[in-house]
Amino acid sequence: MIDSSAAVPAASAAGHRAVLEIENLRVTFTGGAKPVRAVDGVDLTLGAGEVIALLGESGSGKSVTLRSILGLHPPRKSRIEGHIRVEGRDVMKLTPSQFADLRGKTVSMIFQEPMLVLDPVYTVGAQIVETICRHEPVSRAEARARALELFERVRIPSPSRRLDAYPHEMSGGMRQRAMIALALACKPRILLADEPTTALDATVQIQILLLLRELQRELGLAIVFVTHDIGVAVEVAERIAVMYAGRIVETGTVRDVIRTPRHPYTIGLLSTRGHGGRIDGHRLPSIPGSPPDLSDLPPGCAFAPRCTQAIAECAHAAPEPRNVGRDQWVRCIQAG
Amino acid sequence: MTETSNRPLLEVVGLEKLFPIKSGLLGRPGAVVRAVDGVSFELREGETLGIVGESGCGKSTTARLVMHLIEPTAGAIRLEGRVVGSPELPLRSYLAKVQMVFQDSYASLNPRMTVEDSIAFGPTVHGISKPDAVRRARALLDRVGLEPRRFAGRYPHELSGGQRQRINIARALALQPRILILDESVSALDKSVEAQVLNLLLDLKAEFGLSFIFISHDLEVVRFMSTRVLVMYLGRVAEIGPTEAIYAGSRHPYTSALMGSILSMDPDHPTSEAPISGDPPNPIDPPSGCRFHTRCTLAEPVCSATAPPLHVVGGGHAAACHAATPGSGHSRSPGRAA
């Protein structure tokens, strides 16, 4: 739980030892005709056992930020600047083999589509055993016992039989559970979750979210949870960082950001949902315009062209984060 | 809520679609998926009928059947009392009155046609002169919020997802239909853009006197848009009724589970328990009796033995559940007819 008495700087976890620190991260993709600045100065600190939701729409840079942590961008087509430290070590200075040791052992990742992670030609059990043996000096029998334990933990029915199943023999929800088991096989301290429930049906999504919440508490995992759905963020996270056009525009505890959003974009996003039934003649509040072209961003606040509160000054320079409450920071010159 | 006449605009009766999944040995019939299994509903003038359910429940297949994109195995569709495909109402004149907007805005458009030509294409096929069709296309572009001078000559790849979906809506309206079938039409859009398109749809509905069949996995959007809601489970109707009766007073345990899966949005009271466990069963081999009994907390022997009929439980509200049907043999069954 958060110790709210500690006074801390922007986007850092109160009372937690930091396990992940991202400092002024910039990611530029150079493969196309024009360079695309997908992430533009992201700062984020994740405490041990803390859950942060990175919330944003397509193109906001939330997944790109997440993938940078594990070095998943093609080096020839991307330029990554800034610092990423995992438990104090600068991951951008790691050799490929050091990186391979880090992945799965200290930091693990789960995705929206489990079929991209699970190899279709091996049984799921074999893949978990393989992962454990890659990182730890244990026998295959021990590794298999642990795989079974993991399957029980993620509540796969008839776990020992399912260990010998191939991914295609499982239903969507079960594959998601198997992917989570695989990610947790080597007891990582940090889990990166990239929209793991987005493709699931509503009744299955809530089961997986509750499972992740339970595992996080039992294992003391720190999680960065990327999502486009505020509802998902509210179910799993303690803090939210809202991204727009490659920048974090608002961050704070879930409670503060949901109850008293301060950035016009966050306010707009929140008003587009949670309305219940429609009274005839009522319309949904909406944000005008469309998300910006990342290869042609305006010099000032990237949201200004869609913002109903925009003034001339918004176009001059990108706003710096301002403190608007205990632990709530907003990049808007009119906030605070 | 302008229900002007008693006769439904569209009637769907006993609609059924079986997909063979493989032919058996020596060409004998093999297994089939009963994707849509005896679905009946009405669409009234001016209303929006929402259809919800999980993947594989048959909601998109139902839409495609109503649109005649695929041939039903059994069942009939009537528009204003006339049977579709009969001499009274040939398929071609029916199709001009019912149009559809799909989820994938890009795949729905011909990439080699300008958006103006795409919109004008339907009317020219239906015998309208090219200049008239182009004039209509430009007026519709303007109506969906895309300035004709800037957008008419563009190709689909030059537009954003939200703009392309506006084009698809304009194209659907070009034949001046009575009914628009919206199959996950806003699901691929970002939330901020989705709200704009939903508002546009509401405006167009009022302006052109349209009726909607609105299919979505997003329960909140369906609640916002719909007059009535139809809940499907594994090819069958589980429950149908006025939107608030379904959302706030559901009588089918599956509907209650769906509604219980809506995320909380309250940081102080996150969801504490999943309403049901497991995934929806495989539609190739659906459970016997009530197809929901394998996941239902109220299941009793009668539920796996016989399929419950749709039983009226209130004004315009019906549920297919033994626990809501008098004399079903379920211990919770009401004593006598409501």
Query: 């805005």: which residue's tokens?
Result: B105
Cβ(A167)–Cβ(A82) below 8 Å: no
Structure tokens at A277: 């039934």
Asked if the C-beta of B276 comes within 8 angstroms of chain A's C-beta atoms, the answer is yes
Beta-strand pair A247-253/A322-325: unpaired
Gap between the Cα atoms of A97 and B334, Å rounded: 68
A7, pLDDT greater than 80: no
Segment B56-72, tens digit of pLDDT: 899 999 999 999 999 99
Confidence of residue B27 (pLDDT cuts 50, 70, 90): low
Average pLDDT over residues B252-270: 95
Question: Strands across the sheet with A239-244, in order?
Answer: A107-110, A190-194, A222-227, A51-55, A239-244, A247-253, A328-330, A322-325
Same domain, A85 and A195: yes
pLDDT of res. B138: 97
pLDDT tens-digit readout, A75-126: 899 999 999 999 999 999 999 899 999 999 999 999 999 998 999 999 999 9
Q: Does A76 touch chain B (CB under 8 A)?
A: no
Residues A170 and A204 in one domain: no
Burial class (CB in 10 A: 0-12, 13-18, 19+), A190: buried
Any domain includes A319: no
Residues A212 and A148 occupy one common structural domain = no
pLDDT-wise least confident of A248-257, B20-29, B97-106: B20-29
Can you say how many angstroms the Cα of residue B201 is from the centroid of all Cα atoms in its chain? Answer: 15
Q: Which residue has the higher pLDDT, B338 or B207?
A: B207
Residue A244 falls within a domain, yes or no?
A: yes
| Chain A neighbors of B198, CB-CB under 8 A | 284
Instruction: Find the mean pLDDT for residues A185-210.
Output: 95
Mean pLDDT score across all residues of chain B:
92
Contact yes or no for A251/A335 (Cβ under 8 A): no
Band (A134; pLDDT cuts 50, 70, 90): very high
- Return the pLDDT at B20: 87
Whether A333 is covered by a domain: the verdict is no
Of A166, A187, A208, which residue sits at a domain end? A187
Domain shared by A100 and A137, yes or no: no
Partnered with residue A107 across adjacent β-strands are: A103, A190
Domain boundary among A187, A204, A220: A187
Residues A181 and A207 placed together within one structural domain of the fold: no
How many C-alpha atoms does A285 have within 13 Å on its Cβ side?
Answer: 13
Range B151-172 average pLDDT: 95
Q: Please name the residue ranges forming H helices in chain A.
A: 62-69, 96-102, 124-135, 140-153, 159-162, 172-183, 202-219, 230-236, 254-259, 264-271
- Of the residues A129, A159, A187, the one at which a domain ends: A187
Instruction: Please tell me the distance in Å from A231's CA to the nearest CA on chain B.
Output: 5
Q: Tell me, yes or no, if A269 comes closer than 8 A to chain B by beta carbon.
A: yes
Using the structure block, give the residue that is written with the tokens 């010099």: A299
**A178 and A219 both lie in a single domain:** no
* Model confidence at A13: pLDDT above 60: no
Say if residue A281's pLDDT is above 90: no
Q: Which residues of B touch A270 (CB under 8 A)?
A: none
**Pick the residue with more confidence: A56 or A4?**
A56
Q: Is residue A296 part of a domain?
A: no
Q: Is B257 on the interface with A (CB under 8 A)?
A: yes
The pLDDT assigned to A1 comes to: 41
State the best of B60, B146, B191, B256 to mutate against chain A, taking most chain A CBs within 10 Å: B191
pLDDT at A274: 56
Residues in A touching B258 (Cβ below 8 Å): 202-203
| A278 contact residues in B (CB cutoff 8 A) | 223-225
- pLDDT computed for residue A82 by the predictor: 97
Q: Are residues A45 and A122 in the same domain?
A: no
B253 Cβ contact list (under 8 Å, min separation 6): B292, B296, B297, B298, B321, B323
Number of domains in chain A: 2
* Residue B156 near residue B170, CB atoms below 8 Å: no
Above 70 in pLDDT, residue B26? no
Band (pLDDT 50/70/90 cuts) for residue B25 is low
Residues in chain A within 8 Å Cβ distance of B277: 207
Q: Residue B279: which of A172, A228, A231 has the nearest Cβ?
A: A172
pLDDT > 50? residue B130: yes
My answer on whether A17 and A143 are in the same domain is no
Residues spanned by the domain of A247: 11-106+190-273+285-290
Q: Is the pLDDT of residue A334 over 60?
A: yes
Note whether A212 and A181 are same-domain residues: no
Per-residue pLDDT, averaged over B211-217, amounts to 96
Query: Is 0.90 topped by the overall pTM?
Result: yes
Percentage of residues of chain A with pLDDT beyond 90: 80
In the predicted model, is pLDDT for residue A2 greater than 60?
Answer: no
Of all residues in chain B, the percent with pLDDT exceeding 70 is 95
pLDDT at B70: 94
Does B224 contact A275 at a Cβ distance shorter than 8 Å?
Answer: yes
Whole-number Å distance between alpha carbons of A171 and B147: 46
Residue A30 lies in a domain: yes
pLDDT in tens, A226-274: 999 999 999 999 999 999 999 999 999 999 999 999 999 999 999 887 5
Window 160-189 of A: residues touching B by CB (8 A cutoff) are 171-174
Report the candidate in B72, B39, B77 with the shortest Cα–Cα distance to residue B57. Answer: B39
Residues of A in contact with B270 (CB under 8 A): 213, 234-235
| Mean pLDDT of the A16-34 span | 93
Tell me: do A21 and A85 sit in the same domain: yes
User: What's the pLDDT score for residue B6?
Assistant: 66
Neighbouring residues of A218: CB distance < 8 A, sequence distance ≥ 6: none
Confidence of residue B31 (pLDDT cuts 50, 70, 90): confident
Interface contact flag, B263 A234, Cβ < 8 Å: yes
> B144: distance to nearest CA of chain A, Å?
14
d(CA B182, CA B247): 21
Residue B337 has pLDDT above 80, yes or no: no
The span from the CA of B13 to the CA of B25, in Å, is: 34
Mutate to test the interface with A, among B47, B189, B193 (most CBs of A within 10 A): B193
Q: What is the mean pLDDT of residues A31-48?
A: 94
Q: What are phi and psi of B21, to 5 degrees?
A: -95, -30
pLDDT at B24: 58
Q: Which is more confident, A293 or A216?
A: A216
CATH number at residue A258: 3.40.50.300
Domain identity same for A173 and A25: no
Q: Which of B55, B186, B190 to mutate to test binding with chain A, by most A CBs within 10 Å of its CB?
A: B190
In a domain, A158, yes or no: yes
Give the integer Cα–Cα distance in Å for A172 and A113: 9
Q: What pLDDT, on the 0 to 100 scale, is given for residue A335? A: 86
Compute the distance between CA of residue B309 and CA of residue B336 in angstroms, rounded to an integer: 16
Residue A311 lies in a domain: no
Res. B12 pLDDT band, cuts 50 70 90? very high
pLDDT of residue A4: 39
**Residue A305 touches partner B, C-beta closer than 8 Å:** no
- pLDDT of B278: 87
Q: Flag whether the ipTM exceeds 0.85.
A: yes
Give the pLDDT confidence score for residue A5 in this predicted structure: 38
Q: In the predicted model, what is the mean pLDDT of residues B283-296?
A: 93
Please tell me if residue B155 touches chain A, with a CB cutoff of 8 Å.
no
Q: How far is B189 from chain A (nearest CA, A)?
A: 9
Residues 239-268 of A with CB under 8 A from B: 253-255, 258-259, 268
> Does residue A76 lie in a domain region?
yes
| Same-domain status, A100 and A200 | yes
Strand partners, A11: none
